[in-house]
Amino acid sequence: MKYLHTMVRVSDLEASLDFYARKLGLKELGRTESEKGRFTLVFLAPPGNESAQVELTYNWDPEVYTGGRNFGHLAYEVDDVYAFCQGLMDKGVVINRPPRDGRMAFIRSPDNISIELLQKGAALPRQEPWASMPNTGVW
Amino acid sequence: MKYLHTMVRVSDLEASLDFYARKLGLKELGRTESEKGRFTLVFLAPPGNESAQVELTYNWDPEVYTGGRNFGHLAYEVDDVYAFCQGLMDKGVVINRPPRDGRMAFIRSPDNISIELLQKGAALPRQEPWASMPNTGVW
């Protein structure tokens, strides 16, 4: 299990990069643009401390961020996302977004902090019961 | 500059430790109780990945966490908190909580994500203009 990033949503990507990179001094490590999903992701970290990342999520269609929706989630990489989620379910944790794709799951803390679990390396082959497990609530 | 932790507020410490430690598998690294401040802090991280911490803040006097107040802040350690804050001010950033104590400052991202800046090692000697600089807003 390995910490990956803390994700925050931003309403103005340029203003946010100005703040996180130019002013605060974090270094941009990578950027992903999704035409289909209409979002841009930018990963930043302190220079020399690249393993501790902040992920900025910029949705191209304007959203209003009140009520803390701008805080996104904590993300952890796990060795086997199916086994990890099964272990959580055995302990009574609801898997809000099951790893249907063998890659990504979301759960929530008791205070509704969203936590992303990501399969290490390539996605696992799709398999039941995960592949057809429905979402529960939001995350 | 070094990433320290992501802080989240929790309304039930036992339920939160059950979730973050027993269920999610993070390891408790340390705990601070403040009788005076009436709070408990617990630091957790993935086993073997101790540098990437989550800090649980439990306030003994009940608070209701809606609207994202349960997300606290991102924290970074800096070599010289005065120089770092001066650099931010020069770039137009408001220091919401100036480092009056030579140790701790808070700023906000454009989307109001709270960011804590902590002096590396011992606190710096108190000095002006910091020592008498008032707070601005909340953080």
The answer on pLDDT for A127 being more than 90 is: yes
Answer whether residue A139 is part of any domain.
Answer: no
* Of residues A3, A25, A109, nearest to B20 (C-beta): A109
Give yes or no for a contact between B31 and B40, defined as CB atoms under 8 angstroms apart.
yes
Distance from C-alpha of B104 to C-alpha of B130, rounded to nearest angstrom: 11
Same domain, A19 and A37: yes
3-state SS class at A32: strand
Specify whether A9 is located in the same domain as A44: yes
Specify whether A10 is located in the same domain as A67: yes
Final residue in a domain of this structure, among A71, A90, A123 = A71
B61-100 pLDDT, tens per residue? 987 766 555 677 888 888 999 999 999 999 888 999 999 9
CA B35 vs. chain centroid, Å, equals 19
pTM for this one? Answer: 0.77
Residue B85 inside a domain? The answer is: no
- Shared domain check, A46 and A15: yes
List Cα–Cα distances, B49 to A64, B10, B106, in angstroms: 35, 22, 26
pLDDT score, position B49: 83
Quote the CA–CA distance of B29 and B43 in Å, as a whole number.
5
* CB–CB contacts below 8 A, A to B: 114
**B61 located within any domain:** yes
DSSP H stretches of helix in A11-112 = 13-17, 81-90
Which chain B residue has the Cα nearest residue A107?
A: B24
Complex ipTM value: 0.75
Residue B46: CATH number of its domain: 3.10.180.10
Same domain, A9 and A55: yes
Q: What are phi and psi of A17, to 5 degrees?
A: -65, -40
Contacts of A83 (CB under 8 A, 6+ apart): none
Instruction: Say whether pLDDT at A107 is over 60.
Output: yes
pLDDT of residue A36: 93
Q: Does residue A115 share a domain with residue A88?
A: yes
pLDDT digits (tens, 9 = 90+) for B25-59: 889 999 999 999 999 999 999 888 888 889 998 99
CA atoms of B4 and B116, how far apart (whole Å): 10
Higher per-residue confidence, B135 vs B3: B135
pLDDT for res A69: 54
**Residue A124 forms part of a structural domain:** yes
A3 Cβ contact list (under 8 Å, min separation 6): A51, A52, A74, A75, A76, A77, B45, B46, B49, B52
State how far residue B95 is from chain A, nearest Cα, in angstroms.
12
Q: Identify the pLDDT of residue A63.
A: 75
pLDDT band at B3 (very low <50, low <70, confident <90, very high): confident
Please report whether residue B46 resides in a domain. Answer: yes
Q: For residues A64 and A116, state if they share a domain.
A: no
Which pLDDT value is given to residue B24?
A: 83
Contact between A111 and B9 (Cβ < 8 Å): yes
Tell me the pLDDT tens digit for each residue of A22-39: 888 889 999 999 999 999
Q: Tell me which residue in B23, B52, B113 faces A70 most closely, judged by beta carbons.
A: B113
Same domain membership, residue A67 and residue A7: yes
A95 & A124 share domain: yes
- In angstroms, the CA A85 to CA A78 distance is 10
Is residue B116 annotated as part of the catalytic site, yes or no? yes
Give pLDDT, residue B65.
67
Note the pLDDT of residue A68.
55
Residues A67 and A120 grouped into a single domain: no
CB contact under 8 A, A51 and B52: yes
Number of domains in chain A: 2
pLDDT in tens, A41-94: 999 998 888 888 889 989 999 877 665 556 778 888 889 999 999 999 998 889
pLDDT the model gives residue A45? 92
Domain membership flag for residue A100? yes
Instruction: Check CB contact under 8 Å for B70 and A111.
Output: yes
Angle at Cα B68 formed by Cα B29 and Cα B22, nearest 5°? 30
**Per the domain annotation, does B129 fall within a domain?**
no
Closest by Cβ to B110, choosing from A15, A25, A69: A15
What is the distance between the alpha carbons of residues A79 and A117, in angstroms, rounded to a whole number? 10
- B70 and A19 within 8 Å at the Cβ level: the answer is no
Is B6 inside a domain boundary? Answer: yes
Domain hosting residue A7, numbered range: 2-71
Mark whether A92 and A66 lie in a shared domain.
Answer: no
Note whether A71 contacts B68, CB cutoff 8 Å: yes
Choose among B90, B96, B99, B113: nearest CA to A15.
B113
Listed residues A54, A71, A88: the one ending a domain: A71
B74 with A111: Cβ contact below 8 A = no
Domain boundary among A71, A100, A124: A71
Q: How far is CA B56 from CA A12, A67, A121, B98, B133, in A?
A: 29, 20, 29, 23, 29
Q: pLDDT tens across B115-129, in order?
A: 889 899 999 999 999
Q: In the 8-state DSSP scheme, what is residue B11? A: S
